[in-house]
Amino acid sequence: MFGHIGGDDFVALVANKDYETICQNIILEFDHKILDYFSDEDKERGYLEVPNRKGVIEEFPLVSISVGIVEVTKGRFHNILEIGEIGAQVKHLAKVTPR
């Protein structure tokens, strides 16, 4: 089951012990297909050049994906709020960790 948390954040609930392979496959497919959305020039540079509201060119990194995992096993959490809190921490860590 997949859901949209908000903004650029999504969640996947996976009832499969092979969740690490699932996550690796998501990353590999994303990294392979996302390049189709950028020009050769952008890919070569490694970033986008975009004019802001004042016409000043700004640099933005190419889009990437971050994946975090919270393994939920019987008795590990007291309630759904704890899972959400840990999920938020893992999400933050995934977003600030390069690659």
pLDDT tens-place string over residues 52-89: 999 999 999 999 899 989 999 999 999 999 998 999 99
Q: Give the angle subtended at the CA of 73 by the CAs of 72 and 77, to the nearest 5°.
A: 70
pLDDT band, very low/low/confident/very high, at 5 (cuts 50, 70, 90): confident
* Residue from 11, 25, 16, 24 nearest 88 by CA: 11
Would you kindly state where each structural domain of the chain is located, as residue ranges?
2-96
